[in-house]
Amino acid sequence: MKNLVKITVLAILTSFVLYSCNKHNEFEPVSKMTEAESVSFFKENMSIFDARVRTINESFFVKELYLANFSDRSWDKNEIGFDNTLFKDNGEGNDLVANDGIFTSVEEFEFNNKIVYEKDIEVKSVMNEMITSPEFKHAKKLNQLKADYQIHTIYETKDGLTGRDGPKAELSCDVEICSSGCIADWIWDGFGCVCVSNCSFTIGWG
């Protein structure tokens, strides 16, 4: 009987240790990249997939930038500047989940005549086309995500705000990580800003 108890206790302890190790490995920190490696990784593996607004309450919303990563590796950045706004993907403040690719604005914004409060819609897209770099390597995975992606879509056109359901078109642009000359210079000691050029796209953040 004593031996049976010892064996049982040993088995429980072994299971606990293995579980702890697995949990530790699951949340192992992402290895840091050099600036050149990070820029190359972004261009080859990531898409500026969507820009969204998410309701906080009847008066305020936050901006969300969905940077979809199609690599098996994680990008080593969880804060970025875009459109003169600081976004973080660290699970703190208004950001819901750390490292899920949904970067949330640190600042909250007030609903207005362009971005209006809608009681039954928590999150809506305000971007008319997703963006990839010419160096992007995962067209098949991107098309699958487009097919699976379902969200209420509303974006700004010359005629005002227009709703549309279904996946958006893909736009190939020069996507750079700007280490100078952007909001990062005077807001925080971050990596830089996502800068898009040589294409035309619309974000109806207003």
> How confident is the model at residue 196, as a pLDDT?
86
For the chain, the domain total comes to: 1
For the chain, list the strands marked E by DSSP. Answer: 46-55, 60-69, 79-82, 85-88, 102-105, 109-110, 123-125, 129-132, 153-157, 160-164, 169-172, 174-178, 193-197
Q: Answer yes or no: is 162 within a domain.
A: yes
Mean pLDDT by runs of 10 across the 206 residues of the chain is: 43 36 41 86 94 96 96 92 91 96 96 90 88 94 90 57 57 78 51 81 80
- What global pTM score does this model have? 0.76
> How confident is the model at residue 19, as a pLDDT?
36
Residue 119, domain extent:
59-197
Q: Answer yes or no: is 177 within a domain.
A: yes
Q: Answer yes or no: is 108 within a domain.
A: yes
Burial class from Cβ neighbours inside 10 Å (0-12, 13-18, 19+) for residue 202 reads: middle
> How confident is the model at residue 158, as a pLDDT?
45
Q: Answer yes or no: is 31 within a domain.
A: no
Q: Answer yes or no: is 27 within a domain.
A: no
